[in-house]
Amino acid sequence: MANTNTVFGASYLMDPFGGSASGKLLPFVVPATDHTAIFIGDFVTLAGGSGLSNDLNIGYLPTVKQSAATEVILGVVEGFGVDPANLEKIYRPADTHRTVWVNVNYNAFFVMQSADTGAAADVGKTGDILVGAGNTFTGLSGMEILHSDLGTTNGQIKIVGLAPGSEFGLYTKFVVMINEAAYKVVAGA
């Protein structure tokens, strides 16, 4: 059966070393000066500042922004702090101040769709992300694997296998992990 074109960004699958994702979630802030909407499943990058959380019990937090291709990834957005003015918002609209909960575990496995045709030879390769518009109805990311960029060195993500229920071909769902991670210790760095 052919794969369906269902873009959802990076969806947490498992930690190969055990444990749940909940212990790896950390809060960060996206300031109102950020003009890009952020969705569940988006990769984010440290933005180099700090801001007050919507939850005043948390205080000041580092700021993040949606990752672009080639940027070092902090983690994957798994949820948002409560917005008392709009309890139904399941994503972070552009130009709004919002606390985001990010899975910062660079060892975690995520499922992601390829923007092109996937093959068995792609397993083990690295590549960058393709940023697409998120879905304001579902709140899910529009990010995919930039398939044309796959190689054997350097890349934001690494393909580690075929996702359960997927097959090689158009819109292949792969199991990936973060390759270029902000909290990853690199030898010689």
Query: How far, in Å, CA of 177 to CA of 17, rounded?
Result: 13
Predicted TM-score (pTM) of the model is 0.91
Residues in the chain: 189
Query: How far, in Å, CA of 173 to CA of 35, rounded?
Result: 29
Q: Which whole number is the average pLDDT over 73-85?
A: 90
* pLDDT tens column, 15-52: 888 777 666 899 999 999 999 999 999 999 999 998 88
Q: Which whole number is the average pLDDT over 131-145?
A: 94
**106-120 b/e (C-beta count within 10 Å ≥ 16 → b):** bebbbbbbbbbebee
Task: Provide the residue ranges of all domains of the chain, joining segments of one domain with +.
Answer: 11-15+108-178, 22-103
Contact 156, 70 (CB under 8 A): yes
Best CA proximity match to 131, nearest among 72, 69, 177: 69
pLDDT at 117: 92
Which value, in Å, is the radius of gyration of the alpha carbons in the chain? 16
